């Protein structure tokens, strides 16, 4: 099975007071199958949002139990190129989304998200998405 890279937009929705059932099911199944993956920027975006010291520690523990995908120079270069190409087509997704997309593409991971920018990126690049929108 392919790794499932879960964007911060999906985690934020999953941790909300009223998470969507579909999203919860996808995350549970991926965790049971040991497919959950993360990377540094997603870790930063999600874990720093812990509301209490206990929640902060629990989030750290949860994320450190996942498979980590490392960002290398090639990912930054790919994200930069993608951003340049998309800008010529009238799309300007955030740099963090470009980096996450480049990492998912280069590691042949699926990307779970709740962010329309990834749908835009996937129109022009081979980004395999699992949308919970």
| Cα gap 108→110, rounded to integer Å | 7
Give the residue, 131 or 30, on which the prediction is more confident: 30
| Cα gap 37→92, rounded to integer Å | 25
Q: What is this structure's pTM? A: 0.92
55-107, pLDDT tens digit by residue?
Answer: 999 999 999 999 999 999 999 999 999 999 999 999 999 999 999 999 999 99
Architecture of domain 4-131 in this structure: 3-Layer(aba) Sandwich (3.40)
CA-based nearest residue to 12, from 130, 107, 93, 113: 113
């Amino acid at each position: 099975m392919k790794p499932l890279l879960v964007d911060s937009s999906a985690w934020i929705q999953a941790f909300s007071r009223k998470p969507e059932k579909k999203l919860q099911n996808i995350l549970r199944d991926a965790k049971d199958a040991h497919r959950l993956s993360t990377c540094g920027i997603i870790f930063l975006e999600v874990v720093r949002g812990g509301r209490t010291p206990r929640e902060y520690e629990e989030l750290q523990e949860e994320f450190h139990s996942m498979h980590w995908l490392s960002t290398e120079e090639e990912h930054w270069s790919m994200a930069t190129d993608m951003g340049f190409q998309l800008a010529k087509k009238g799309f300007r997704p955030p740099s963090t989304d470009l980096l996450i997309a480049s990492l998912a593409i280069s590691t042949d991971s699926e990307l779970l998200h709740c962010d329309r920018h990834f749908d835009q990126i996937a129109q022009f690049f081979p980004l395999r998405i699992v949308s919970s929108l």
